[in-house]
Each structure stands twice: as C-alpha cells, then as structure tokens.
C-alpha cells in the first residue's frame, strides 16, 4: 500500500450508551480510494464525521498526514478543514436554496479569506469547468439544477479549497442510474488529475467495487473485513461480506459494471 494519508485506530463513538462505532481501524493511502461499505446504520457516516471532526469521537486515534486530528485546537482544526472535505447524499439538500451556484462556490473561499472578488469569480469559473458545467451555471439557483448538476456543484464546492482528502458519503445514491455513472466517472477523473484521496461510503457493494482500491466492510459498528478490492471480491473472508455480494443482482463483473454505468 502507498503511504497512508489517513490512519484511524480503534475509533469509538457512543450514542445513548451504545457503541455505534466500536473499535474501528482503517487506513487510506494517498491518492487512493477506500470504500466503506455496509448496511444502513452500521456506523459508516458516524466514523467519517469523527474523522472530519464534525462530531467528537469517544475514543481512538486519527492521524491525517501524520497529525493527531483529535488533539487539534481551533486554528489548527481550521487549517485541517481546508484539506478535508465532504460530499453528502442529497445534492439539493446540501445547497442553500437562496444562493446562486456562484455564491455557493465562493462561500468557502470567503470563509477562509481567499482572494478578492475578481480572483473568486475566476475560481468559480475554474471550478465549474472542473466538474463539467458550463459557465452559465454560475447564475443558477438550486431549483434550476437537475440532481446530477446539483451534485456536480456540491463536488465543485468541496474542491474549492483544494483539499487532498474528500469523504463521499453516499454521494451518488440519490442519483438516477445514468447520471450516477457520469458522476462516478467525474470523481475518478478528478482523483487522477488532482491526486485526491477518497473515503467512499456506500451501502452498495457493486458501486464500491467500481470505485475503491481497498474495501472495508462494516457491520454493527465494527469492521468485519478489510482487503484490497480484487482480493475481497475473489476471496471474501466474512460471511457478512458474502451476503452483501449475494445481494448484488448480477454476479458477472462485466454485466454488473454495465448496470452501474446504466448501459444495456
Ligand atoms: N446523533 C445521533 N444520535 C443518536 N444516534 C445516532 C446519531 N447519529 C447516528 N446515530 C446512530 O448510530 C448508528 C450508526 O449510524 P450511521 O449514520 O453512522 O450509519 P451508516 O452506516 O452511515 O448508515 P446510513 O447510511 O443509514 O447513514 C445508527 O444506529 C444511528 O441511529
């Protein structure tokens, strides 16, 4: 494995006396994608939120580029937040209805005091191009965007501060199948071009297979199995992983890829 950008050791999060994240450990190599897969409620999002310090962990250790994330104070945390971003499932829900696309993309730049108005406008144009949207989208509002377009805007916003690491939390789950493929391909291209590292969260093992270099399977707050993608699919070790595989409608990888891509 390449050098890890993110290392999570024995992470614990407790809600109402229940360990919803229970001794979770994983690493994500720089420039690669770790797929975190498991049924709803298994603790995937909670683990990611702890990594991003959106919520506070109750135990364990998180290292990002060697830095002790859980020990960071305000100003250090602010610097770290530029380097780690997240894209959520609901593209429209994550955008402010009253803001134009340009305002949404400028917001993180303003929040970090980056550039003057002209520089920010230029950056907005650059970001739109990066995610395959024409410059005219800058003046649209969320209700004038399709689900796929809105998710491209959410991705552009996540990239505004040039992060190294992006959490994609069910980022394509709400999209139509054909649009889903386009957004997945966009994410792959962005990873290659910008050297991004992804934590790709999904309940859909078929999509994880398409995206991830390594896969960690989560159940009831624990990682039951973690392997390089090829090995996991060739030799699943855990019964639960096998049951997730059985739930994939088509076992043949080529047919399955066509299903994800929405081509028949
Ligand atoms: N703020 C909270 N307060 C109480 N319980 C919570 C909270 N957030 C999450 N949980 C519980 O923690 C468990 C793990 O939730 P989590 O969202 O991490 O799972 P998940 O695998 O990401 O599933 P999903 O895809 O449905 O979000 C669930 O049982 C959930 O109900």
Q: Please name the residue that has the structure tokens 């970001």.
A: 127
Q: CA torsion, points 153, 154, 160, 165, in degrees to nearest 10?
A: -140
pLDDT of 197: 98
The protein residue with its alpha carbon nearest to ligand 1, atom 6, reads: 15
Query: For residue 87, what are the domain limits?
Result: 4-99+163-261
Q: ipTM, 2 decimals?
A: 0.94
Strand partners, 107: none
* Angle at the Cα of 44 from the Cα atoms of 42 and 49, rounded to 5 degrees: 135
The protein residue with its alpha carbon nearest to ligand 1, atom 2, reads: 15
Count of residues in the chain = 264
Number of alpha carbons in the 13 Å side-chain half-sphere of residue 98 = 0
Atom of ligand 1 nearest to the CA of 42: 21
Q: Does 21 fall in a domain? A: yes
pLDDT of 162: 97
* 41 Cα to the center of ligand 1, angstroms: 5
36 lines ligand 1 (CB under 6 A): no
Q: Does 122 fall in a domain? A: no
* Count of domains for the chain: 1
Distance CA 228, CA 180 (A): 24
The protein residue with its alpha carbon nearest to ligand 1, atom 4, reads: 15
Q: Does 175 fall in a domain? A: yes
β-bridge pairing 18-29 and 4-15? antiparallel
Distance CA 103, CA 80 (A): 23
Structure tokens at 202: 């999904």
Structure tokens at 68: 């002790």
Q: Does 184 fall in a domain? A: yes
DSSP SS3 for 72: coil
Cβ(131)–Cβ(186) under 8 Å?
yes
Q: Does 249 fall in a domain? A: yes
pTM of the prediction? 0.93
Distance CA 144, CA 140 (A): 6
pLDDT tens, the chain, 264 aa long: 568 999 999 999 999 999 999 999 999 999 999 999 999 999 999 999 999 999 999 999 999 999 999 999 999 999 999 999 999 998 888 899 999 999 999 999 999 999 999 999 999 999 999 999 999 999 999 999 999 999 999 999 999 999 999 999 999 999 998 899 999 999 999 999 999 999 999 999 999 999 999 999 999 999 999 999 999 999 999 999 999 988 776 546 666 666 666 665
* Angle at the Cα of 31 from the Cα atoms of 28 and 35, rounded to 5 degrees: 45
Which CATH number fits the domain that encloses residue 206? 3.40.50.300
* Angle at the Cα of 42 from the Cα atoms of 39 and 44, rounded to 5 degrees: 100
């Amino acid at each position: 494995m390449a050098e890890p950008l993110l290392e999570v050791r024995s992470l614990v999060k407790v809600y109402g006396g229940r360990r919803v994240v229970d001794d979770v450990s994983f690493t994500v190599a720089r420039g690669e994608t770790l797929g975190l897969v498991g049924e709803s409620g298994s603790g995937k999002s909670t683990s990611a939120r702890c990594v991003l310090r959106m919520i506070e962990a109750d135990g364990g250790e998180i290292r990002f580029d060697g830095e002790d994330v859980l020990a960071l104070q305000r100003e250090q945390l602010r610097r770290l937040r530029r380097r780690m971003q997240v894209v959520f499932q609901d593209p429209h829900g994550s955008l402010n209805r009253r803001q134009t696309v340009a305002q949404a993309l400028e917001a993180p730049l303003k929040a970090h005091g980056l550039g003057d108005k002209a520089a920010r406008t230029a950056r907005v144009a650059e970001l739109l191009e990066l995610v395959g949207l024409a410059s005219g989208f800058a003046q649209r509002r969320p209700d004038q965007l399709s689900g796929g377009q809105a998710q491209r805007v959410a991705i552009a916003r996540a990239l505004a501060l040039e992060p190294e690491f992006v959490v994609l939390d069910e980022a394509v789950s709400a999209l139509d199948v054909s649009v889903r493929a386009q957004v997945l391909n966009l994410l792959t291209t962005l990873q290659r071009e910008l050297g991004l590292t992804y934590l790709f969260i999904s309940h859909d093992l078929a999509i994880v297979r398409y995206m991830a270099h390594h896969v960690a399977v989560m159940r009831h707050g624990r990682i039951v199995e973690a392997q390089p993608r090829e090995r996991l699919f060739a030799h699943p070790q855990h019964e639960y992983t096998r049951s997730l595989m059985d739930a994939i409608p088509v076992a043949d990888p080529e047919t399955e890829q066509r299903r994800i891509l929405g081509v028949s």
